Each structure stands twice: as C-alpha cells, then as structure tokens.
Amino acid sequence: MYDYDLLVVGSANADLVIGVERRPAAGETVLGSDLAVHPGGKGANQAVAAARLGASTALLARVGDDGHGRLLLDSLRSAGVDTVGVLVGGAPTGVALITVDPSGDNSIVVSPGANGRLTPEDVRAAGSLFHASRVVSAQLEIPLETVVAVASSLAPDSRFVLNPSPPRPLPAVLLAACDPLIVNEHEAKVILGDSAIGDDPEDWARILLAKGPRSVVVTLGAEGALVASKDGVSRVASVKVDAVDTTGAGDAFTAALAYRLGTGASLEEAAAYAARVGAAAVTKEGAQVSFPTAEEVDAL
C-alpha cells in the first residue's frame, strides 16, 4: 500500500565548519583551521539516518541551484534517500556557519536560504508523496505554516512525528496531529511556556500530553527517554557507550523511532530501538557520517 516507510519534510543545509582557538570578540579577526563542508540540516539528517537503517525513505525539501545543493543531493542519494521531492532553486542552499573551539563548544549562525522558501503550496503539490508514505516526520527549520500544512496533508492511515527544533510555541492544530511529539528538556520548556514547571521530566511529559498530542517522547540524553500516551508514562533505558560526538544524535533518534513505528512497533519498542541508534551515532564524529546501519545497531 505504501511506497515509503518514511517521508521526511524539512531542512537541508551545508555545514561550514572552522576550528578556532577562541571565538573572536566584536571587531576582531582570528585565524582558524581549514574549512570543512558537510551535508546537514535536520530534515536531510533524519532522511539519511532512516535510509541507513534500511527504511524506504523520501525527503521533501528545497535547496539552491548551487554547489551546496549538489553536495546535499549527492549525499542523500548515496545514502539511498529518494530525492524526487527535493525542489531546486528559489534561493541559495541553506548554510550553517559553525566555529568550534578546542573544548568542542561551538557557535552557529544559520542562513535558512532555500529552507525558508519551502511553502505550504510545495506541500500540497507533493500530495502523491504523502499518500505513498506510512509515516511523515518534520522539524521546525522550515516555516511553521509549512509544517502545519504537512500535518493536514497526511494519508488517512499514516502517522505524523514532530521534533519541534528549534523550539517555539505550537498551534493546537499541530499539537493534535503529533503521534508522537519528540522533545528534549529545552524544547519541552519552550513549548510549555512556563519556567516554573519543575524539574521532573515525567511531569513535562504529562503536561505536554494534556496539550493535545496523541503521544509524547521526552529524550533525556544519557538518562534515556520517557514515553507518554493515554496508557501512562514509562521510561526507556539508555545504552551506555563512550560518547565521541553528540552531533546529530537527536536526528538519528527521531528517524529511527519514526521508522520503527511504521513497522508496527509500539511506542516503547520504537523508543528503545531509537535509543540504541542514538547511542551508536555518538560513538563517531560528525552528523550524517556517524549514522549507523541496522547491522551496527544490532551489534551494539
């Protein structure tokens, strides 16, 4: 019935990374390492992560007609992602300018570029992709009105997964479509809009669930995750590994969870699998290059 296990709708960026001894002060110039250019963006990351696990995956996104766009298309295709939904043109490819100091701390400036031109009209024009997809996932590096259009374009039996990153308050119609809404601590507090919600992640999960999502997942890093639905709140254990680089781990988690839900796994089963995928991803440097295959996850 479905051609795709997962359709990802979201961003595709070129990550331009320079190592620096320290970040410059206002008006100051510092020298850095050679420039490294990597494919990135939450949408492209999640599509690649799912495809690496063996999911039949498509991406709906927009890139520029430029070298960075071609880099992203090549990366997606080499991972096995169907790029039929990747639109080209309208603005330069989105770019993240990243400086990284010796401690690993980074500073990032993002130019959304073509990501900001992915419109609700683009979503409606891609109706055949939605009706061919078992699960649809999105993030918030594209316009919010486009994500709302995604939630209203689902096939009758498909499932919508949202990772609201970067976080912002969400309209009720979007929250009601989420199954699940996947948040970390920072995202949970922004969406709840209340700095006095306390420090208990189980409370965050319950309050978020009361706002309308059909289910909620709260990721807790090395502490695992919580899943919440009408059946209650339960904890998913973490997988202990020696972390090298956490870049992209959240994207890998979201992609794995969405994929496994589409195979018929329960929310708890899907989250447990996603925790293993996220753990495998942090054992290597980088984002897309660190995403594991299904065999690597099984070995873990």
Distance of alpha carbon 139 from alpha carbon 256, whole angstroms:
15
Beta-carbon neighbour count of residue 107 at 10 Å?
12
Residue among 66, 245, 251, 298 flagged as catalytic: 251
Distance of alpha carbon 254 from alpha carbon 137, whole angstroms:
8
Distance of alpha carbon 114 from alpha carbon 12, whole angstroms:
9
Specify the DSSP class assigned to residue 90.
S
In the block, tokens 């993002």 appear at 110
Does residue 131 contact residue 154 with C-beta atoms inside 8 Å? Answer: no
251 is catalytic: yes
Specify the DSSP class assigned to residue 27.
T
End-to-end CA distance of the chain: 32
Distance of alpha carbon 208 from alpha carbon 203, whole angstroms:
8
Distance of alpha carbon 193 from alpha carbon 170, whole angstroms:
10
Alpha carbon dihedral 205, 135, 50, 161, in 10-degree steps, equals -20
Spatial CA neighbour of 133 closest among 6, 240, 253 = 6
Distance of CA 198 to the CA centre of its chain: 26
**Residue 151 one-letter amino acid:** A
In the block, tokens 């496994």 appear at 260
CA distances 1 to 122, 157, 165, 202, 213, Å, are: 24, 11, 31, 37, 26
Catalytic positions, please?
A: 251
